[in-house]
Amino acid sequence: MQKSNTLPKRRKFFVLALSAFAVMLGMGIIAPLMPLYAENMGASGIWLGVIFASYSVSRLLFVPLIGKMSDRKGRKVIIATGLFLYSLFSLSYVFAYNPLTLSIARFLQGLASAMTLPIIMALIGDISPKGKEGRYMGYFNVARFFGMGLGPMLGGSLNDLYGIDTAFYVLSALTALTFVFVIIFLDNEPTPFQKQKANTKQSYKKIWNIKIMRGLLIFRFVSALGRGSLMSFLAVYAFTFGISAFQVGVILMANIISLSVLQIPFGKMADRVSKMKMIIVGGGITVISLALMPLTGNFYVLLALNILWGTGRAIGIPATSAINTIEGRKYGMGSAMGLFMGALYGGMVISPLVSGILMQTIGVKYIFYFSGFATLIGIFIFYSYARNINLKPVIKKEKPVLPND
């Protein structure tokens, strides 16, 4: 009897994890290629910023609305629609012929993205038991970041062997297969908001008025302001001292694979120790790695620093995700995830524009200094809001090795 109760949640978790893996793999495929693709169309540094920002502008505009809608209408229909559109809009890159049309393609794909990953994360939050939010988000983030980590190397290889258009076709095919998978295997269970309308209040104002959430959202915004486009401009920087597209793919893969595999131990840790300490320590490691990157022109040193950067992010991400999940239960998980991801996307809207200006005026290296400084400011802001709040959970003795309760 116990087995029949646990299988639906286990199945749902793996469907969602696989969906996130496919979406992030597709995104990772084009990450190291987009700067080259845009520059071949004559895009300047500022145009590069516009192209990267258009993706985040779209997500920023639509994620809060779609998050709240998913609380009221259900998660499956929005996720499936988003995957279908993602597959369709991925083909638009092939037909882009100048920076403007490429920006439009990015904007459309951003809309589809707003309907996929944040809503998948909201559904993961729905099924996470109390006290295990970090564990569940940690396991989920393994699939999410592992896909993003494999993507750059695959994208670089496809570009070198078959040309850049092949990468866009592969991206479209991956998300189309995931759409079919979601339609067949994911059920359309009512959200907690739909089940308990009388007890669950959807209010962005209420979420913002929670002190820890306000600090978390500002931290997310400021941190993203610094590093929102760094993955893309890292490729531009690496190309200046002769690193190939394949090697850039290896660097980006190492960064995100380290971020991915460490989600499990640090996800479990987030349920047992102070989440504030994890965020501060992880942020500090991130600042150090970013500050050192402009000082090297060597592939192996840059590779090592990117692994360090991934490690710092791996420490902080499960803690921030767990805090957001805990608060999301009170006001609608989709609404909380909408604000959580919206804060990230807000920073990523401004970040590529600032980075493009820095690159064109004083040099690409200064993007790294700006990113490290912004992350440091974000840490101080979060600490100022969270220092008097107890973020150390009550430890419960539990022993599941997978999110299958």
Mean pLDDT to the nearest integer, 253-269: 85
Task: Label residues 275-312 b or e (16+ Cβ within 10 Å = b).
Answer: bbebbbbbbbbbbebbbbbbeeeebeebbbbbebbbbb
What does the pLDDT read at residue 140? Answer: 87
Residue 396 CB: number of other CB atoms within 10 A?
11
Confidence band for 1, pLDDT divided at 50, 70 and 90: very low
What does the pLDDT read at residue 8? Answer: 67
Mean pLDDT to the nearest integer, 90-104: 87
- As a residue count, the chain comes to 405
Name the average pLDDT for the chain: 81
144-190 pLDDT per residue, tens: 888 777 777 787 777 778 877 888 888 888 889 889 988 988 877 76
More confidently predicted of 285 and 93: 285
- The percent of residues in the chain predicted with pLDDT above 90, rounded, is 12
310-369 pLDDT per residue, tens: 899 999 988 998 888 888 887 778 888 888 888 888 887 788 778 878 888 888 888 888
Mean pLDDT to the nearest integer, 273-297: 89
Residue 191 pLDDT > 70, yes or no?
no
What does the pLDDT read at residue 311? Answer: 92
Which helix H or strand E contains 155, and what residues bound it? helix 133-162
Mean pLDDT to the nearest integer, 26-32: 73
Mean pLDDT to the nearest integer, 39-45: 75
What does the pLDDT read at residue 19? Answer: 87
Find the angle CA(222)-CA(129)-CA(396) to the nearest 5 degrees.
100
Cα radius of gyration rounded to whole Å, the chain: 20
Q: Report DSSP letters for 227-238, one per residue.
A: HTTHHHHHHHHH
Domains of the chain plus CATH, in order, are 2-183+202-386 (1.20.1250.20)
Q: How far is Cα 398 from Cα 401, in angstroms, rounded to an integer?
A: 9
